[in-house]
């Protein structure tokens, strides 16, 4: 069994990005800029945003965070996004989810300029990803693909089960795997007998937010398990969706939680923002 170390890979990616940022500054006088919009006081969201701010500083990005009160109107958020769309110093716009219930998330995400949609949530980018055209791809699935690349895990012809069908993780993950010539099965809350599918899979990727959902009897020997889930238990500890202690001995590769997919999500956000800045530089 080999651990897939997302933390060290994320650091490796960030070092590479730092060098690219310096080059971009010297050659084109462009500093990649990321704008984050956060609404309300959700502690987890603020923790994520703080991590993103620190990562931006580490690689030499310009970053700005718009912190908005819970009761802000949808139109006010839209106006700020439009302002960011027109700001030449901003190359990436990220709206921290979830938004309060009175805000229509789909409407908000559609307002973001697709060329600055570094989260890969805009329908334009999703459509291009599905058709295997160059696009901004959702950061968590992109991070998983980067892990496969780093550890020389060949996806062609592999039977892969994706557990979870969210627009942010499950669906784009499945499309990226399909584009890599894997045979993909998507399972979700309405799937009957989940273990029937996971037992046959060469690779299982799970991200639904349920501790110990995937147990040892659900995984075949030698399988690869990617745990995207993150759950805080009553004792304060962080765990994934996989019963790591019992599943890990059966695996050829497995990601830990924490220290697995999580750090890669932020690394890919930085990578997408750098990509946007480079494209901006080419278009002026």
Q: Looking at 14, 52, 116, 117, which residue is catalytic? A: 52
Find the distance separating the first CA and the last CA of the chain, reported in whole Å. 49
CA distance 260 to 254: 9
CA distance 129 to 114: 13
CA distance 284 to 280: 7
52 is catalytic: yes
Q: Is 227 exposed, middle or buried (0-12, 13-18, 19+ CB in 10 A)?
A: buried
List all residues 6 or more positions away from 181 whose beta carbon is below 8 Å from its beta carbon: 155, 156, 157
CA distances from 262 to 34, 65, 102, 240, 242 (A): 19, 21, 29, 10, 15
* Closest to 207 (Cα-Cα) out of 166, 259, 255, 252: 166
Q: Looking at 119, 202, 227, 241, which residue is catalytic? A: 119
* Closest to 106 (Cα-Cα) out of 126, 90, 87: 126
Q: Residue 111's CB: how many other CB atoms inside 10 A?
A: 18
Give the pairing type, strands 62-68 and 33-39: parallel
Tell me the sheet residues that pair with 159: 183
119 is catalytic: yes
96 is catalytic: yes
State the catalytic residues: 52, 96, 119
């Amino acid at each position: 069994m080999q651990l897939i170390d997302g933390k060290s890979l994320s650091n490796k990616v960030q070092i590479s990005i730092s060098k690219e940022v310096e080059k971009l500054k010297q050659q084109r006088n462009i500093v990649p800029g990321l704008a984050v919009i956060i609404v309300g006081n959700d502690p987890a969201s603020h923790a994520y945003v703080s991590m993103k701010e620190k990562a931006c500083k580490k690689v030499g990005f310009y970053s700005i965070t718009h912190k908005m009160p819970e009761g802000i109107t949808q139109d006010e958020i839209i106006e700020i996004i439009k302002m960011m769309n027109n700001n030449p110093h901003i190359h990436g716009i990220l709206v921290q989810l979830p938004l309060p219930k009175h805000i229509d998330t789909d409407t908000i995400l559609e307002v973001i300029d697709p060329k600055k949609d570094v989260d890969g949530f805009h329908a334009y980018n999703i459509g291009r990803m599905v058709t295997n055209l160059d696009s901004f791809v959702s950061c968590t699935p992109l991070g998983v693909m980067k892990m496969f690349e780093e550890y020389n895990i060949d996806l062609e012809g592999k039977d892969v089960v994706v557990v979870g069908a969210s627009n942010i993780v499950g669906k784009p993950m499945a499309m990226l795997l399909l584009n890599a010539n894997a045979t993909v099965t998507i399972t979700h809350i309405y799937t009957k007998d989940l273990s029937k599918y996971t037992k046959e899979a060469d690779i299982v990727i799970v991200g639904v937010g349920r501790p110990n959902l995937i147990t040892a009897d659900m995984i075949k020997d030698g399988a690869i398990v990617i745990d995207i889930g993150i759950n805080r238990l009553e004792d304060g500890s962080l765990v994934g969706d996989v019963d790591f202690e019992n599943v890990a001995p059966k695996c050829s590769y497995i990601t830990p939680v924490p220290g697995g997919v999580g750090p890669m999500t932020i690394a890919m956000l930085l990578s997408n923002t750098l990509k946007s800045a480079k494209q901006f530089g080419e278009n002026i």
